Chains A and B, each alone.
Chain A
Amino acid sequence: MDQLVTLLKRAMPFQMVPDDTLKAIAGLAKYESHAQGDVIYHIGDYADDIYIVSSGSVQHTLGIGTQATHLDKTMRSGDVFGWAAVLENQRSRLAKTVCLERTELIRINGEDLINLFKASPALGDVVMSRFATMINKEFTLPEAVAAQVPHFTQAQATMATMATGLTLTMFRVSQWLKSPKPYLMLIGFSILLGIWYFTVEVWKLPRFEDMPGLTVVVKELFSKDPTYGLSLYTPEYYQHVWVSLRRIGIAFFLATILGVPLGLFLGWSKTFREYVFPVFETLRPIPILAWVPLAILMFSGSETPVIYLTFLASFFATALNTMLGVETIDESYSRAASCLGASKWQTFREVIVPGAMPFIFTGLQISIGVAWFSLVAGEMVSGQFGLGYVINTSYTMVRYPTIVIGMVTLGAVGYTTSAMVRMAGDYMMQWRVRELALGGR
């Protein structure tokens, strides 16, 4: 028995195992001896037991399909083979083993071994990770094979498989905080605010003295009783934000559901493109402000013209980028799909749409940006609420700090919406996220 324990202790996977557990393992072991030339198992045999060489030597030859760098290996006293018996999803031998001389072996049933470790999962994981290292390093098999060793502690296993968009984002955030980037960003903001503070309030440079200062704006923003009637504590502030957001929401939604299909068809069908693209290209360069009078004439009230203007800018950006996305799809994808028996419609749905997805989301990000731009333009001209309206009326009514409050709010809300679009894109394009992550981006 002691002899067995000493032998087990020399075997790489069991080196970290305490003596009492080794005794339990030894209890599972069976002794056997073989003559020179005996084949212990062939490739493809059912893998039930693992083997440890006690004395003698065994030739271990892996099959071609295993992708090992070195196929042949001679096993001597203390070496372990037959580990296919402890792998998950692998119940057949990957190698052929032949005794090179008179050899004594001990064999341990793989399942019994795994069951033994179920009682002490932490120790089991140590042993299995040593098995994995051995398979990878000693037997030169790819990590994918080594990764098939069982895991005993459940938490780890679920963590590893949960690489969803959310955890990926969380991981990125924690990485980001560890990098110098956020601190550089803070320095950048301090420089901007510093220039503002010094030029307006300390040095009082000419033409700057009438501008609202940093401290005045901050005080106003956080004041419970603001001098000019708008701060984080007044309900009007949120009403303005909400009205703007709602207009953006409606316009962006319409622009997406109309712009993406238009872009897809423009890119996909040559004939459709001949009809539509020239018209599209003539309308697209017209600045949004030029549409204002017509928008007011066309639509009644103050709400619809603003939404229309916002929609228009978004729509062109989305449609154009989607079309470019379809054009950049490598032709070999469509060819492969048709070769594999896909119909034209299937090719459109399964190749053109997902292939254009990265460009569509780039387009949507641009689109949400220009949406804010044209929203403010629209709100300045017509409309009774909204952040653009706040800025414009504050100017005419000489409430200068409120202008800056409106601007800062626009910046913050605009940034949030475009981050949301980006996250939606990452969530929908897991493959793309991984592709970019591989490229180090």
Chain B
Amino acid sequence: MTTDISHGLSATSASVSSKVNAGEITVSNVSKSYGAGLFTKEVIKDCSFTIECNKLTVMIGPSGCGKSTLIRLLAGFEKPTTGDIKLGGKPITGPGRDRLVVFQESALFPWMTTYENIMYGPRARGEDTQENRDQADYLLEKVGLTAFRKKYPPQLSGGMQRRAELARAMINNPEVMILDEPFRGLDCMSKELMWEYYAGLYEESRRTNFFVTTDIDEAIFLADRLLIMSNVPGQVRATIEVDLPRPRRLAFVFDSERANAVKMEALSLLHEEAMKSFTGGSKAAADFVEAYSRRSSKAEAG
């Protein structure tokens, strides 16, 4: 135990001594467990990684590997059991304006119009200025919702709601945007449309973004850096730099050799992880293992 702590300390001091950027999040030796005594379940164990400044970092991993727990830690809703998380060198103590989280489920207020929803953040902070109103108009146009500004969320499609939510987060200029599977549950076509909208927004702002997903195509299309999670207890298994050129277009990205290479690399890493938990008795991993083996046998036949 003592060695663990000293290890944590040295890692921290190392990261502090290196260049610290404003929007950079460093997660060092973080563990999180729930329950007590015999019933303790360790969800994240000794997890360390960096969310680099002004980059889009995508985290991908098998379902139930502690991604959502990690998001709650980053958002400051919960505290890690051991280890620490720092934003720009300062430890994260609670929820704050500097980190904005877009959650899986849509949380647009149904009693406000699209425009009012987007303006909610500035208005809540008493910043209902012309500048912000212009910014809201600009974002509405950017996400293709200008014609829907006076509509209420139930009148929008699922994809439009997700876009409105992205705009509602973006207008606040957070240092870091954290997105927890924001496009989950959308159909394939709308999902691809969302990727392009989101990539467009990101490419324009180039702010620090942390995006969590289970969809490999989504991950590769969006990421500057790809973090691959291991199974429970969660750890970052590998980091892949996705050096595809920006701005990215769908057809273009998925025809490129490099994207396919990254995808194969990521899939094989995910497969290893799935195998581990499969042999460990997890039912959740079975589908992935089967799909992967079929895919590779098809590739051999072809």
Contacts and interface: CB of A to CB of B under 8 A. Distances in A.
A342 interface: yes
Interface string B88-99: 000000010100
A148 B147 contact: yes
B147 A144 contact: yes
A438 B155 contact: yes
By DSSP majority rule, is chain A's interface helix, strand, loop, or mixed? helix
Contacts, number: 80
Nearest to A433: B152
A351 interface: yes
Interface residues of A, number: 35
Contacts of A431: 110-112, 152, 154
Nearest to A354: B111
A145 B147 contact: yes
B168 interface: yes
A391 interface: no
Contacts of B115: none
A64 interface: yes
Contacts of B105: 330, 332
Interface string B249-273: 1000000000000000000000000
Given A148-B147, A354-B111, A435-B110, A335 B103 contact: yes
A337 B110 CA distance: 13
A351 B155 contact: no
Contacts of A66: 144
Contacts of A364: none
Contact of A333 (B75, B107, B197, B249): B107
B147 to A, nearest CB: 4
Given A65-B197, A357-B111, A438-B155, A340 B147 contact: no
B16 interface: no
Interface in A143-199: 144-145, 147-148
Interface in A116-155: 142, 144-145, 147-148
A64 B147 contact: no
A340 B172 contact: yes
A375 B111 CA distance: 35
Contact of A340 (B111, B152, B168, B200): B168
Contact of B154 (A147, A357, A435): A435
A339 B147 contact: no
Given A65-B144, A67-B144, A145-B147, A435 B152 contact: yes
Contacts of A337: 109, 120, 124
A145 B146 CA distance: 9
Contacts of A434: 152, 154-155
27 contacts: A64-B200, A65-B144, A65-B197, A65-B200, A89-B146, A142-B147, A144-B147, A144-B148, A333-B109, A335-B103, A335-B107, A337-B109, A337-B124, A338-B95, A340-B124, A340-B172, A342-B120, A346-B124, A350-B109, A350-B120, A355-B109, A431-B152, A431-B154, A432-B111, A434-B155, A435-B154, A435-B155
Q: Across chains A and B, which 5 residue pairs bring their CB atoms closest together, nearest first? A: A144-B147, A336-B107, A340-B121, A342-B124, A435-B154
Interface of B: 75, 95, 97, 100-101, 103, 105, 107, 109-112, 120-121, 124-125, 142, 144, 146-148, 152, 154-155, 168, 172, 193, 196-197, 200, 249
Interface of A: 64-67, 89, 142, 144-145, 147-148, 330, 332-333, 335-343, 346, 350-351, 354-355, 357, 429-432, 434-435, 438
